[in-house]
Structure 1
């Protein structure tokens, strides 16, 4: 069974998976920065709960997330199409189809930006570690994964959004 209580499919075409209902969980003013990002959860339809997989499309000018790092979650990306720029705290790398990158928990802050004129399509994989927290070195934002599995966002001084 999936989250909706429907029988889980055995297989599906990734590009036909249902789009995430909203482009981001971020509060404003960060939410609107994700307008050029489309995620199709691929693990959820199968009832997977230990890790998540998304087929993500970034339009030109789009970004994958704010520059961030997880405290407990490992992340992995695999570029299917396009040439996004991987931005970390200390370097920028232009990626291309067939390239991949991994981000261990507590490691370097990172995100992808599409500076090209064509869409970027990639797979992102991350575990769903309880107690995970996310820091955003360039923005007045922090997040903690609540016991309900939902992200709770606050300013860095703890004030809620």
Structure 2
């Protein structure tokens, strides 16, 4: 059995920024403008979970307000003071704080309402068959063969 290639440790900032800013279909992708992701887990060939070093410019948001059906998520704030927005309220986060989102839990996302950059780690598993739901938008997502497929809530596809 061939062992996977192991890459040496590197500075996380040296991993290239993801070339496609968003996987959301139009018109939703524009809402995460100002978000940059460095896919650390993919860089190292991780298969079971993903880790991103994510940066939010002033005014940017991490994602649409969402929840996952099967995937657990966690964030750890490295720099800046983003607002964690959930269906039931908001909380200002500081460096060193973390938050976890169990599958099927409350919908959530981060918003950078400050004038400085926010940097954080986001960690999520890659459970097959995961679905994303968006309580404020006509959008649903299904993880198929490792890729997100987006549809309207009535099942029709976005062009």
User: TM-score normalised by the shorter chain: which range applies?
Assistant: over 0.9
Which digits, 9 at most, give the CA deviation of each residue in 1:4-42, with x for residues without a partner? Answer: xx9542211101111111111000110111110000011
**Cα distance between partner residues in 2 of 1:8 and 1:124:** 22
Q: 1:111 aligns with which of 83, 106, 109?
A: 109
Which digits, 9 at most, give the CA deviation of each residue in 1:40-64, with x for residues without a partner? Answer: 0111111101000000000000000
Instruction: Please say if residues 8 and 45 of structure 1, whose CA atoms lie closer than 8 Å, have aligned partners that are also in contact.
Output: no
Please show how residues 141-156 of structure 1 align to structure 2 within 5 Å: 141-146=139-144, 148-156=145-153
**Cα distance between partner residues in 2 of 1:28 and 1:12:** 35
SS at match of 1:57: strand
CA RMSD of aligned residues (A): 1.1
Instruction: Please say if residues 80 and 97 of structure 1, whose CA atoms lie closer than 8 Å, have aligned partners that are also in contact.
Output: yes
Q: How many residues align?
A: 155
- Tell me the equivalent position of 2:37: 39
TM-score, normalised to structure 2, is: 0.95
**Structure 2: tracts of 5 or more residues without a match:** none
TM-score, normalised to structure 1, is: 0.94
SS at match of 1:108: coil
CA deviation after TM superposition for structure 1 residue 100, in Å: 0.3
**Structure 1: tracts of 5 or more residues without a match:** 1-5
- Tell me the equivalent position of 2:59: 61
**Cα distance between partner residues in 1 of 2:79 and 2:111:** 14
Runs of 4+ in 1 over 4 A off after TM superposition: none
SS at match of 2:110: strand
**Cα distance between partner residues in 2 of 1:84 and 1:95:** 6
Instruction: Please say if residues 54 and 124 of structure 1, whose CA atoms lie closer than 8 Å, have aligned partners that are also in contact.
Output: yes
**Cα distance between partner residues in 1 of 2:42 and 2:142:** 21
